[in-house]
Each structure stands twice: as C-alpha cells, then as structure tokens.
Amino acid sequence: MSGFGMEGIVHAFGSQPVIAGASLDVAEGELVCLLGPSGCGKTTLLRLAAGLERLQRGRVVIDGKVVANAADGRHVPPERRRVGLMFQDYALFPHLTLAENIRFGLGRNSAASAFRVEEAMARVGLAPYAQAYPHTLSGGQQQRAALLRVMAPGPRVLLLDEPFSDLDVNRRVQVRESTLDLLKESGAATLMVTHDPEEAMFMADRILVMNAGSIVQSGTPFDIYFHPADAFVAELFGPVNRLPGVVRDRAVETPIGRFEAPGIAEGSPVDVLIRVEGLVVMANGAADGSPPVAARVVSSRLLGRSSHLGLRVPADGGDIALQCRVPGIPPLGPDETVQIKVDRAQAFVFPA
C-alpha cells in the first residue's frame, strides 16, 4: 500500500513516557497535520518516523515496507527511507548558496536535477537569489529554500516540523498557500507538526489531535472543529465560555439557554463550552426563535477586524461573566445592555 503508517508506537525518555500507543496513517498525496500543545510528543513521533530515534515499541511502514520494527530490531537508516524531514529552524548550510543548499543530496552533474531545481526556485520566487547565502535572506525565503531542499530528491514521505513557526503573521499567511501547492503537486504522503489550529485547518486534509502522547481525535478540519471529541479538543481552537450544570431530562439548563446532552447519564455534572465567536450579539432578539437573553457590557476592546466584548448575565447566586468576539467595531460602551443568543454549532456539552 502506498503511503506511510506508524502502528502502536510507545516511547519514553528514561522513566518519562512520551508516546503512549500512537498509531497513524497518511495516504499518498495526503497532507495530515499533527496538532497539539508543546510537549505532547509530536516532534518525537516525527523523529521516530524519520529514523532519527530507534523504536522502543511499534513499527513504521512506508509504501508497504516495514522500515522499523521494535519486535525484531529492524531499523532502516534515515538515508534509505526516502523520507524528507524539514526542521523547525530550516537547518540551511551557511557556507552554501541557496541553489547549492537545494541541490544538496542530488547528483551534482545531473543536468536534469539542475533543471528541476532552477524551475522549482522560479516557481516560488527564489530564482533571483540562487547565488545568495542563507544569512542574507528573509525568513520566508529561507523557509521556501528549506522546503525545496527536502523535496528535491523526490521523497515518498515528507515530515515537516512546525515549518512556519519562525515567520511573522503576515508572511506566514502568504507562504502557507504556496507551500500547500508544492506539497500537493509532489504527491508525497505528508505529515506536518503544528501547535497552531488555524494553520492545521488551512493546510490539512485530515487533522490528528495529540494530547499527552496519545492521538485523541482524527478527522477532517470540519469534523474536528464542529464535532470535538472532548473539552481538550474544543479548547484547542481558542478561548471558550465554560458553564457548569447537571443533566436533567437529557439536557442542561444554563442562564443563557438549554442545551441537549445526548449520551450523558441523568444527574451527571457537565460543562457547557461555548466558543467566544459562538455568542452572537443580536439587534432584535434571537433569530432561531428562542427567547433573547439580556447581557450587560462590561468591556469592549478592538482587535482589528473584530472586537472582544466582556459581558455579564444575571444568574442564581450572582452574575456570570461571558466573553464574545464580534465583527467590526460595535458602538457599545460599559453598562449598555444587549441581547445575545448562542450559535448552537459552537456549543458543546461534556462531562465535567
């Protein structure tokens, strides 16, 4: 089978467990993002896949061939795996020009290889810098050069470790699109590590969410965002409002409405998580027919294309604090009263 897979990976550094039975697969031409917080084991998985670390348990398969198997000690060295690994810091050779960096690992006398490199550099806007040295280039130019160097030998598998983390926000957005085009055209099975959920949503055909050494959810960006498996996954995508409650008649009542709680036992304590963009400030009541809820504005801060509102809603035992994000600049000041509703697609109920 074409593609790449890791099965039953368990790994520890000394007595510290890092990977706890992780399995994954990436099909030929597919781009999968491994998403999770720092320290959850993402980079260790990449190093094991590339052969930079020996397996302690599990196996690695590339194009149907076992390249590492802890059970029998098999360990194909990195240079024989047809795997391209791009590090977070790009690791360009400072004494080589850009063109020489990209050609590294290719037959230097091959006219075909030289042509491929020049053509690739032209496509990503690096042709004018072919004879420049890495320290004279911007972060975005170095990133593109590092990616071309990894892709030049035609690897079957590409492993990218936080490839955009050193770029500023504006440059990151520009470089992501051209990088995605190149990766798709390569046809390689690509596994990319990131801690940025927006980056994963933009780049991935599929997202694997990792937490504490385990893959806790796998799915399309749509599935992961709108159907998180648990509170951890939901909170990866930004701040949430958390409302505690108890399941009664398969639902939970809160000061801002009633939320269904399918599959959770009667009487169970739960948390209702509502994303900040899931609270909608209404001009004329709730569009879905539910009663509007009055909220008092306590703060309003402009964030550029959107604004952050701090709200308070009356509840038994005192007001509850909420936060929401709204487009533009709302003409609202402290102590003004607004009507709010909840976008149910961005509200989730999980056991507490």
| Per-residue model confidence as pLDDT tens digits over 247-287 | 999 999 999 999 999 999 999 999 999 999 999 987 554 44
The answer on pLDDT for 76 being more than 60 is yes
| Per-residue model confidence as pLDDT tens digits over 37-57 | 988 999 999 999 999 999 999
Please give the average per-residue pLDDT across 134-147, as a whole number: 89
Distance between the two ends of the chain, CA-based, in angstroms?
42
CATH number of 4-82+154-233: 3.40.50.300
The amino acid present at 309, given as its one-letter code, is L
Q: What is the DSSP string of 85-117?
A: EE-TT----TTS-HHHHHHTTS-TT-HHHHHHH
* CA 92 centroid distance within chain: 25
Please give the average per-residue pLDDT across 162-190, as a whole number: 86
Separation CA 183–CA 33 (nearest Å): 13
Spatial contact of 217 and 237, defined as CB atoms under 8 Å apart? no
pLDDT value of residue 112 = 55
Token couple for 100 = 């020489």
| Per-residue model confidence as pLDDT tens digits over 177-186 | 888 888 888 8
CATH architecture observed for domain 239-351: Beta Barrel (2.40)
Residue with token string 């440059």: 171
Helix axes 139-151, 169-186, angle to 10 degrees: 10
Q: What are phi and psi of 65, to 5 degrees?
A: -110, 135
The alpha carbon dihedral of 332, 236, 241, 220 has a sign of positive
Separation CA 13–CA 174 (nearest Å): 37
The answer on pLDDT for 316 being more than 80 is yes
pLDDT value of residue 139 = 86
pLDDT value of residue 114 = 59
Residue with token string 């959107």: 306
Rounded alpha-carbon distances, angstroms, from residue 198 to 101, 172, 204, 230, 237: 30, 11, 10, 19, 8
* CA 193 centroid distance within chain: 7
Q: Do domains 4-82+154-233 and 239-351 have the same CATH topology?
A: no
The CA-based angle 190-196-200, given to 5 degrees, is 40
Among the listed ranges 101-110, 252-261, 290-299, which one has the minimum average pLDDT value? 101-110
Beta-ladder partners of 101: none
pLDDT value of residue 285 = 46
- How high does pLDDT run on average in the chain? 90
Q: 257: phi > 0 → left, psi -120 to 50 → alpha, else beta; which? A: left
Separation CA 114–CA 100 (nearest Å): 10
Q: How confident is the model at residue 168 (pLDDT cuts 50, 70, 90)?
A: confident
Q: How confident is the model at residue 226 (pLDDT cuts 50, 70, 90)?
A: very high
> Is the whole-model pTM more than 0.85?
yes
Among the listed ranges 37-41, 170-174, 218-222, 245-249, which one has the minimum average pLDDT value? 170-174
- 121 vs 69, more confident: 69
Burial of 14 (0-12, 13-18, 19+ CB in 10 A): exposed
**Percentage of the chain exceeding pLDDT 90:** 64
Domain segments of the chain as ranges: 4-82+154-233, 239-351
